[in-house]
Amino acid sequence: MDTWENLKSECFACRGCALADTRTHVVFGDGAEDAEILLVGEGPGQHEDEQGVPFVGRAGQLLDDMLEMIGLDRTKVYIANIVKCRPPQNRDPLNTEQDACIGWLRRQTALLQPRMIVCLGRIAAKSIIREDFKITSEHGQWFERGGVQMTAIYHPAALLRDVGKRPETFEDLKSIQAKARELCLRTKL
């Protein structure tokens, strides 16, 4: 049976794809290891690679602000990515890289047993919810798989580039807050 320590140590030693050759740090995840809410992004950027923690750059600061708006913070959720190593120049992770890395996220999810998964952006939504997921038309909608409620919102980096998406993201956040109040027993909002 997996433990957080075993999983981290195996992940830190991973050489499953070429991203391992250029990484500074494996960006495993951050937050409560018993969280009922799992947030999943696509992959680490430069700041995350330097610090070994997901969502610590400008997009991470915005994510922290978004969580605070609905009564959450990193002590109440768990944040991870589809890929654990930074793609060069912050490009989208290739399918082969996602395939090589998705097992780590599956094992993290098995340890967490979250009630809710929030995909941060289209890459995560396409990996977790459905391969043909359309973030512009399906963000904020709820899906259920294996008793877990899932939704996707715009990636915080997209919200930094296009502030026009923020009002609809605020509505998505309110929906996440309502769903968390309904489903999460230990997470007080």
Over residues 112-136, the pLDDT tens digits come to: 999 999 999 999 999 999 999 999 9
Q: Is the pLDDT of residue 45 over 90?
A: yes
* Region at 52 (left for phi over 0; alpha for psi -120 to 50; beta for the rest): left
Q: How confident is the model at residue 81 (pLDDT cuts 50, 70, 90)?
A: very high
Domain encompassing residue 124: 4-180
What's the rounded mean pLDDT across residues 4-13? 97
Q: What is the pLDDT of residue 69?
A: 96
Q: Is the pLDDT of residue 187 over 90?
A: no
* Structure token pair of residue 72: 């959450």
Residue 122 belongs to domain with CATH number: 3.40.470.10
Number of domains in the chain: 1
pLDDT above 70 covers what percent of the chain? 98
Q: Is the pLDDT of residue 152 over 70?
A: yes
Q: Is residue 186 part of a domain?
A: no
Over residues 19-34, the pLDDT tens digits come to: 999 999 999 999 999 9
What is the DSSP track for the chain? ---HHHHHHHHHT--SSGGGGT-SS----EE-TT-SEEEEES---HHHHHHT-SS-SHHHHHHHHHHHHTT--TTTSEEEESSSSPPGGGPPPPHHHHHHHHHHHHHHHHHH--SEEEEESHHHHHHHT-TT--HHHHTT--EEETTEEEEEE--HHHHHH-GGGHHHHHHHHHHHHHHHHHH-SS---
Q: Is residue 187 part of a domain?
A: no
Q: Is the pLDDT of residue 186 over 90?
A: no
Q: Is residue 17 part of a domain?
A: yes
Q: How confident is the model at residue 189 (pLDDT cuts 50, 70, 90)?
A: low
Q: Is residue 59 part of a domain?
A: yes
Q: What is the pLDDT of residue 184?
A: 83
Q: Is residue 13 part of a domain?
A: yes
Q: Is residue 49 part of a domain?
A: yes
Q: How confident is the model at residue 95 (pLDDT cuts 50, 70, 90)?
A: very high
Q: What is the pLDDT of residue 135?
A: 97
